Amino acid sequence: MPSTLIVLSGPPLPGRWSLARALERRLSARRFGAESDSVSLLDIMRALAVPGACVVVDGNLATREARAEVLELAGEGCERVLVEWRCSRKEAEREVFHRYASRPRALGAAELERYVADARVREPIDDARYCDDRLGARAVVVGPESPLDEQLARVVRALRAPPPAPPPTDDAAERRVMVVEDDPEERATLAEVLEELGYVVEQAPDAGVAMALLEAGVHVELLISDHLMPGTSGVELARFVADHHPEVRTVLLTAFSDEDVCRRAIEVSAVTVLAKPLRVIDLERALAEA
C-alpha cells in the first residue's frame, strides 16, 4: 500500500496550523513541522517508509526549492500533494494584530511589517503543471476565505484514493478544550493529562494565538490558561472570551496566591482559579464544574 505525503506551506499563522491539525485528525496522519530543529528530514523519511502511512509536513516553505526538498523525501509510488495556505496581506495583518495587540504601538507596527513580509510566499504554486511534471505532486491552494471544513475537503479530494470518512461521533460526548501556556513543557504535559481524561485538546503558546484560533472558528467548550504570560495575561484573555465567545468557559492557572487575580477572574466569568503546581484531582473537579 503506497504512503501519502502532504506538504502544507504558507505563512506561520493560526489558520494554517488549524488546517494542519485537521488533516492530522482526518487522515490519521503523522504531522511534522518543517521549521522545527527537533525534526530531521530523516524522521520524515522513516515515517513515509511505513506502508500506507500518511505524513503531513507543515511549514513556511516560501520557495520552490524548499518545497521540492521535502517532496523529494517520498519514495517511488508515494502519493504527493502540495498544499499552499495563502492569505492576503490584510488577512495576515488581522491575525498578526491579535498576536501583538498588547505591545506598544511602534513595536507592534514594526513587528507586524516584518512578520507579514517574512511570511509572504515568494514563489506561489500557481503553475499546477510545474507541480505535476517537476515535483510529481498535485497542487491545492486554500485560504481563510473558505471555512476550515471546506479547506479540508479540497485537500482530501486531491488524493487519488481518499480515506473513508471517519465514523460519526456523538458530538455531545466529544469534549474539546484549549490549553494556553507559554511554557512548552507545561503545555504538553497538561495536554497529555487532558487527553488521558478523554478530552480533544487544542494548544496555543500565548493569548494572542488563542484569540486568533477562536476567531478563526476553532471550536472548544473550555479554555484553560496560565495567568502570567508575555503580552496578554490570562485575565485579559478570559475577558476577551467572555465578551466574544460567551459559550466558552475559562479556567485560570496561577503560581501565586493572588486575591486580586481571583476577583478579576470572577468578574469576567472564569470558572475558577487553580494554583500551580496543578493537582489532577483539582483539575478534574474544575472540569466537572465547567
Tens of pLDDT along the chain (290 residues) come to 788 999 998 877 767 877 888 898 888 888 887 654 445 778 888 888 888 889 999 887 777 788 888 888 887 788 889 998 887 777 776 666 555 444 433 334 555 565 555 545 445 555 444 455 555 678 888 888 788 888 888 899 888 765 555 555 444 456 889 999 988 888 888 888 888 777 888 888 888 888 888 887 888 989 999 888 888 888 888 888 888 888 888 888 887 656 566 666 666 666 678 877 777 777 877 787 76
Q: Could you give the CA distance from residue 260 to residue 265 in angstroms, rounded to a whole number?
A: 8
Q: What is the pLDDT, as a whole number, of residue 194? A: 86
* CATH number, span 175-289: 3.40.50.2300
Question: Would you say 85 and 142 are in contact if contact means Cβ atoms under 8 Å apart?
Answer: yes
Question: Would you say 264 and 236 are in contact if contact means Cβ atoms under 8 Å apart?
Answer: no
Q: Which CATH class is domain 4-86+122-157?
A: alpha beta
Q: Could you give the CA distance from residue 237 to residue 225 in angstroms, rounded to a whole number?
A: 8
Q: What is the pLDDT, as a whole number, of residue 178? A: 93
SS3 204: strand
Q: Could you give the CA distance from residue 241 to residue 247 in angstroms, rounded to a whole number?
A: 9
Q: What is the pLDDT, as a whole number, of residue 6? A: 92
Q: What is the pLDDT, as a whole number, of residue 128? A: 47
Q: Could you give the CA distance from residue 28 to residue 34 in angstroms, rounded to a whole number?
A: 19
Q: Which residue has the cell 472548544?
A: 220
Question: Where exactly are the structural domains of the chain?
Answer: 4-86+122-157, 87-120, 175-289
The helix/strand count (H/E) of the chain reads as 12, 10
Q: Model pTM? A: 0.56
Residue 195's H or E segment, with its range, is helix 184-196
Q: Which cell goes with 43?
A: 524522521
The reply to whether 4-86+122-157 and 175-289 are identical in fold is yes
